Structure 1
Amino acid sequence: MTLEAFKQAPWRNSHALYRGASLAISPAPEYASSEILVASLYRTIGFESKAEGSIPQAGRELERKIQRLRDRHLPPPEGATLPVDIWSTVLHGVLESPKLPNQSAKRFLQVTPVVPSLALFSGSARLANNSWPAGSLVRRMVWLGCKDHAAAHALWEELFVALGVGGQDDIFASWLEQEASAWDGQSSWQLAPVPLAEVANLAGEDFEDVEFMPARQFAKDLRSVIQAKDTMTRRQWTSLLEAVLRLAAVAHVTWLCDVQARIWGCLSSALSGSGPAGADEARNTIFPSSPQYMAYGGKALNGLKDKASSYLAARLGTNAILWSLERAGVSLEGDISSGRGVSRLCHLVREHRATLEDNGIQDALVDIREREARALNCKKGIGANLIEFARHALGQRQTAIQLLRGYDQGYVLKKKGSSSSSPWVVSLGPVAVLAMVHCALAGMGGPRSIHRLGQHLAAYGIIVDRHDIARNDLGDQLRMLGLVLDSPDAESGMLLLPPFPGTQAMGIEQ
Structure 2
Amino acid sequence: MTLADFKQAPWRNSHKKYSDSALAISPAPEYASSEVLVSSLYRTIGFETVSEGSVPQAGRDHDKFVQKHRDRKRTEPAGALVGADTWSTIIHGVLESPKLPNQSSKRFLQVSPLVPGLAVFSGSARLSTNSWHAGGLIRRMIWLGSKDEASAGLLWAELFSAMNVGESDDVFARWLREETSAWTAPSPSWKLVPTPQGEATGLADSDYGRLQFPARQFTKDLVAIVAAKNSMTRRQWVSLLEAILRLAAVSHVTWLCDVQARIWRNVQAALTEDDSNGDGRIAVSVFPQSPQYMAYGGKALSGFKDKASSYLQSRLGINAVLWSLEDVGQPYVGTLSSSEDVAGLCRHIRQNRAALAHAAISKTIAEVLESEARALLCKKGIGSNLYEFARHCLGQRQSANPLLRGYDQGYVLRKSGTSAASPWVVSLGPVSVLALVHCALFGMGGPRSIQRLVQHLAAYGVAVDRNDIASSDLGHQLRMLGLVLDSPDAESGMLLLPPFPASDDVAVQST
**TM superposition score normalised by structure 1:** 0.98
Partner of 2:78, secondary structure, is: coil
CA distance in 2, matches of 1:144, 1:134: 16
1:147 aligns with 2:142: no
Contact 1:443 1:508 (8 Å CA) reproduced? no
Q: 2:270 aligns to what? A: 270
1:187 aligns with 2:182: no
Deviation (angstroms), 1:186 = 2.5
Deviations 1:39-74 (A, max 9, x none): 000000000000000000000001011111211326
CA distance in 1, matches of 2:43, 2:473: 36
CA distance in 2, matches of 1:465, 1:48: 45
1:335 aligns with 2:355: no
CA distance in 1, matches of 2:171, 2:242: 21
Partner of 2:209, secondary structure, is: helix
Q: 1:167 aligns to what? A: 167
Partner of 2:18, secondary structure, is: helix
AA partner of residue 50 (structure 1):
V
CA distance in 1, matches of 2:421, 2:316: 32
AA partner of residue 197 (structure 2):
L
Contact 1:413 1:428 (8 Å CA) reproduced? yes
Q: 1:248 aligns to what? A: 248
AA partner of residue 225 (structure 1):
I
AA partner of residue 19 (structure 1):
S
AA partner of residue 76 (structure 2):
P
**TM superposition score normalised by structure 2:** 0.98
Contact 1:443 1:505 (8 Å CA) reproduced? no
1:76 aligns with 2:76: yes
Deviations 1:239-285 (A, max 9, x none): 0000000000000000000000000011000001233432x422211
The 5-angstrom pairing of residues 19-418 of structure 1 reads 19-73=19-73, 75-184=75-184, 185-210=186-211, 212-273=212-273, 274-278=275-279, 280-418=280-418
Q: 2:424 aligns to what? A: 424
CA distance in 2, matches of 1:361, 1:8: 16
In structure 1, the gaps of 5 or more residues are none
CA distance in 2, matches of 1:16, 1:508: 35
CA distance in 2, matches of 1:125, 1:199: 24
Deviations 1:218-245 (A, max 9, x none): 0000000000000000000000000000
Q: 4+ residue stretches of structure 1 with deviation over 3 A?
A: 503-508
CA distance in 2, matches of 1:276, 1:475: 44
AA partner of residue 199 (structure 2):
E
Comparing 306-315 with 363-372, greater Cα deviation is found at: 363-372
Contact 2:231 2:501 (8 Å CA) reproduced? no
Aligned residues: 508
CA distance in 1, matches of 2:502, 2:195: 33
- The Cα RMSD (Å) is 1.2
Partner of 2:183, secondary structure, is: helix
AA partner of residue 440 (structure 1):
A
Contact 1:23 1:256 (8 Å CA) reproduced? yes
Give the 3 Å change call, closer, same or farther, for CA 504–244 of structure 1 in structure 2. farther
Deviations 1:438-480 (A, max 9, x none): 0000111111111110000000000000000001000000000
Give the 3 Å change call, closer, same or farther, for CA 65–277 of structure 1 in structure 2. same
Deviation (angstroms), 1:504 = 8.9
Deviation (angstroms), 1:295 = 0.2
Contact 1:442 1:505 (8 Å CA) reproduced? no
CA distance in 2, matches of 1:373, 1:415: 30
Contact 1:409 1:430 (8 Å CA) reproduced? yes
AA partner of residue 375 (structure 1):
A
Partner of 1:325, secondary structure, is: helix
Deviations 1:318-344 (A, max 9, x none): 000100011111142221121111111
Deviation (angstroms), 1:18 = 0.3
AA partner of residue 358 (structure 1):
H
Identity level (%): 64
CA distance in 2, matches of 1:137, 1:294: 21
AA partner of residue 299 (structure 1):
K
CA distance in 2, matches of 1:43, 1:251: 23
Deviation (angstroms), 1:365 = 1.1
Contact 1:80 1:179 (8 Å CA) reproduced? yes
CA distance in 2, matches of 1:307, 1:183: 45
CA distance in 2, matches of 1:74, 1:425: 51
CA distance in 1, matches of 2:479, 2:492: 14
Deviation (angstroms), 1:354 = 1.0
Comparing 401-410 with 248-257, greater Cα deviation is found at: 401-410
AA partner of residue 442 (structure 1):
F
Contact 1:442 1:503 (8 Å CA) reproduced? no
CA distance in 1, matches of 2:358, 2:285: 28
CA distance in 1, matches of 2:478, 2:166: 32
Deviations 1:144-167 (A, max 9, x none): 000111100000000000000001
Deviation (angstroms), 1:505 = 11
Q: 2:2 aligns to what? A: 2
Deviations 1:336-377 (A, max 9, x none): 121111111000100111111111111111111111111001
Contact 1:145 1:218 (8 Å CA) reproduced? yes
CA distance in 2, matches of 1:383, 1:254: 12
Partner of 2:503, secondary structure, is: helix
